Structure formats: structure tokens, C-alpha cells
Structure 1
Amino acid sequence: MTTAAPLTPLRALGVLVARNVVVYRRAWKLFLTGFLEPVFYLLSIGVGVGALVDVLEVNGREVPYAEFVAPALLAVSAFNGALLDSTYSVYFRLRYERLYEQMLATPLTTADIARSEIVWSQLRGGTYSAMFLVVMAALGLTGSWTAMLALPAALLIGFSFSAVCMALTTYMRSWQDFDKITLLQLPLFLFSGTFFPVTAYDGVLRWAVEATPLYRGVVLCRELVTGEVGWGSAVSVVYLLLMGLAGAVVVRRRLDALLVT
């Protein structure tokens, strides 16, 4: 009797991502709702409230309020898209559908599963971001050629949050635990500097906001879209990259503990 040889990491990634594409092919409305949410925020707050606000400052440069809010919502869309797939969907496959156990009966490994789920979550968040970036360009809210780098930045944000959120999901034991995700998601959004500059805070509170991962993503996208790129942008990139890599390591180890040992 012959034993199937393990798939290469790239081949395994392609197979599992293709599986998710097939599953979500009839659920395209989910992608539409994820795209429309930041658009509604942009039109209602960025444009609507922006009519009442003159300009805000980004690294010494004054920009219109809508141009201040739009790149932040780009980062938030990547964050929301990555979080949805790496939490609720992963939990269902892990605890109820037992899909990962079935996958391990094939030549796939826990590393393949972790890698594919993180990439898929990242692709979903990246899709939202790409469509939103088109809307920004149509509204004239991309003030610099460096705005084209905002999409890779959004992918980096998606990678960071999908890896960490998937790692957190492996510790959840019931659906009630997702209340903790909501408890984390809402403050991250409200205190991310999306709708007002961080200079509105002083002291420890400002330091705490600047240390949050979504704020780093918001600042990175804003600096790229407005063309005000500096050393702070590099700090944000390193921060998000290390966060994502750490989350990926934890995911692999947790899947080994839950499914293999």
C-alpha cells in the first residue's frame, strides 16, 4: 500500500484557498456588505461631517477632513474583513464542522491549515480594501502617488489581524466567548484615530492609543495616501509584521496541541 506524499506548502495553500473560493462563491453578498460599510462611513462622516470641519493636520500638512478619514477607513476595512474570517469561520470549522481534523487525514499538515486560513482572511480583507481604494480614487481622496502602496499596507494589516485573531480563536470554548472579540473590536475602532487625530488625547491615554495595532495601521495608510511618509511609517510596518508573525507561530502550535497531540 502506498502512502500519499505531503503536498508542497505552495500547492497546499492553493488547494485550501481554492476550497474557500468554492464555498464562498454563492455567498458573494457577504463581500458586498463588508465593502459597503466603510463606504457608508466615508459618505456620512467623512463627507457629511467633513462639511463642518475645515482641515486637519497630518505630519505638518493640512488635509481636508474627508481625505483624513478615508485612508483610516481603508485600514479599518482590512481589519474587519480579516477579523470576520479568522474568528467566527475558523471557530465553526474547528469546533463544530471538525473540518481541520478531516484535512489532517490527507497529506495536509497543521502548518498548511494555518497558512491557508490566514491567507484567505487576508485576501478577504484585501478585497474590501481594493474596492474601497477605487472609491477613494473616484472621489479624489488619493492625494499622492504613494497611495498605490496603501493596498499592500492593507494586506499587511489583514495579515497581522488574521493571524492574531485566529490564534485567539483557538482558545475559545463556546460562542459566548465571541463577546470578548466584540469587546476588543469596538474600542480598537473607536480609539484608532480614524475620525480625529491622536493629539486630542494627552499623557498615558495618548500613548496607549498609539500602541494599539489598528492605530498603527490607520496611521500607515494615512501617511501613504497623503504622501507624508516618514520613519513612523517604517515603525508601523515592523510593528504589524512582527505581530502577524507572532500570531502565525501561535496558531501553528495551538493547532498541533488541539488536533495532533
Structure 2
Amino acid sequence: MLLRIVPVGSYAGRARAVVERSALVNRRNWLLVLSGIFEPMFYLFALGIGFGGIVGTLTGPDGQAVSYAAYVAPGLLAASAMNGAVHDATFNVFMKLKYAKVYDAMLATPLGPTDVALGEISWSLIRGGIYAAGCLAVMAALGLITSPWALLALPAALLIAFGFAAVGMGASTLLRSWQDFDLILLVQMPMFLFSTTFFPLTVYPEPIQIAVQCLPLYHGIELMRDLTSGAVTWGILGHVAYFAIMVALGGWFAARRLGKLLLT
């Protein structure tokens, strides 16, 4: 079906080659790749456990009282998936596109723009998944997971990373210089701070609650909290659909923009 909806020559079914290249390039830099695991851990120990001793307990998704650390940890899990995916899909893609001219060399092979987009998004997904897996392992070690539904937390984190990677790569094709990355951070940092990562939605006035509920990270955090606490309802499908739409639209836009930038 994909071959019918993309221009001839833009897709060769070889996106795996782009992922393999990224793995080879980073084979000596795995410590740098893995370093992103530590950021959410610092937040968890400093705020969830340290500051949590002052806050006490909060109401979890299932209506039961939970410790502040157990409340914050799923939010950091979703944020770690977002951060890993966005970092790779924006900074690294921009450098390859504008300066290293890696994609121009790729298009001299049988690869097409859609292969490049899918490959880079997949690599960003892997990086975001690594960050999320590390965060999930620490949560399990600290006893912050209370439901067998948490087994689905890692696939859910991969979906979150996939959505942010697709949108992030699409956004990176619009950037003109390194200064434009301030715009990425201008969106990413407030979303991290205000998407109920550290406090409930009810602390906001109602108009702001509506705005927060439109943010993608909010849906990722709610998805993670539902799974790790066992408060799973049919409403979880709404969060999944949100990220599925992000993947579809972001991937389509990224492939289209790459084709326009590299083939014209």
C-alpha cells in the first residue's frame, strides 16, 4: 500500500539500512546514548523521593492514595521516552541534513526520502525506548510499580517515542539554523513541566486544564499512570489513538519535506 501512495523512487523498502548505519556510527558512543537515562532518575530521586517526603501522598488514577514518588515516576517515564526521541530526531537529523550532508549521500544509493525518514524515526524510537526501559527498571527496583499491566508500559513508551520522533523529525526539516532550536526547547520544556508530570491536573483553572489536555505529553503521562497503577479502562485507547495520529501525520510530513529538500 505504501508504494502506491508515495512518489516513485521515494521508497525502496530499505529503511533498515538507515537504522544499521546509525547503530554502527554510535557503536563507540553508547555511553553518550545511555547518558539520557540518568536525567529522569535525578528528577525522581530529587523530587519524587526527596521532595516527596514533604508532599506526602496524592490520589492516583485508581482513586487510591499513592506516594508522591509513585505519582511522579510514570510521568518521568513518559518524559524520558519523549526526550530521547526528540533529541535524536531534531539535533542529529538537522546536523545530518544541513551540515554533514549525510542524506544527500544516502539518496545516491537505492534509498529514497521515505526510507530515510522511516529509518531515522526508527532509530529515534530505539533511543527513546532505551531511556524508557532504564527508567522502568529503576521504578521496578524501587517498588513503584503495583500492577501487572505495567508489562505494557514499555510498548506504550515505544509508542510515545515513535510519536514524538515522527513529529520531531518533521519539525527539524523546517529549522533554518541552530538558533531555531530555541523554539524546540520553548515547546518541550514547558510541556515537560506543566503536563501533570509533577502535580495533578486539578491544580489548574478549568481553561488551562483544557489546554494541558491537548498536549501530547499529557496523554503519554496518563497512559503510563494508568498502566503502572492498574487503572486500565477503555479510555486508554484514546491516548493510544492520539499517538497513532502523531506517528501517521509526523511520518508523512517528514517524508514529504525530505523529498522536497533533497530531490528538488
Whole-Å Cα distance in 2 between the matches of residues 107 and 36 of structure 1? 39
- State the secondary structure of the residue aligned to 1:79: helix
Give 1:6 deviation, angstroms. Answer: 10
Partner of 1:27: 29
Correspondence for 2:3: none
CA distance in 2, matches of 1:140, 1:131: 15
Which residue pairs with 2:43 in the alignment? 41
RMSD, aligned CA? 1.4
Letter of the structure 1 residue corresponding to residue 154 of structure 2 = L
Which of 134, 141, 144 is the matching residue for 1:141?
144
The CA deviation at 1:32 is 2.9
Distance 1:32 1:123 in 2: 11
Equivalent AA in structure 2 for residue 101 of structure 1 = D
Farther off after superposition, 38-47 or 49-58: 49-58
Within-5 A mapping of 1:95-174: 95-174=98-177
- Within 2, Cα distance between the matches of 1:8 and 1:165? 23
Cα shift at 1:100 = 0.6
Give the AA of the match of 2:180.
D
Partner Cα separation in structure 2 for residue 182 and residue 118 of structure 1: 19
Please state how far the C-alpha of 1:7 moved relative to its aligned partner. Answer: 8.6
Residue segments in structure 1 that go unaligned for 5+ positions in a row? none
Contact residue 107 and residue 113 of structure 2 kept, 8 A: yes
Please list, as runs of the form range in 1=range in 2, the aligned pairs for 1:1-261 lying within 5 A after superposition: 9=13, 12-59=14-61, 60-261=63-264
Residue 63 of structure 1: SS of its match in structure 2?
strand
Residue identity in the other structure for 1:210: Q
Q: Amino acid of the residue matched to residue 235 of structure 2?
A: G
- CA displacement, residues 59-101 of structure 1 (integer Å, 9 cap, x when unaligned): 3222111111111100000000001000010001001111111
Moved over 2 A (4+): 5-8
- If the length of structure 1 is used for normalisation, what is the TM-score? 0.94
Give TM-score scaled by structure 2 length.
0.93
Q: Is the 8 A contact 1:71 1:222 kept in 2?
A: yes
Alignment coverage as a number of residue pairs = 255
Structure 2 unaligned residues grouped into runs of 5+: 1-8
The answer as to whether partners of 1:6 and 1:107 remain within 8 angstroms in 2 is: no
Q: Residues 7 and 231 from structure 1, CA distance in 2 versus in 1: closer, same or farther, beyond 3 angstroms?
A: closer
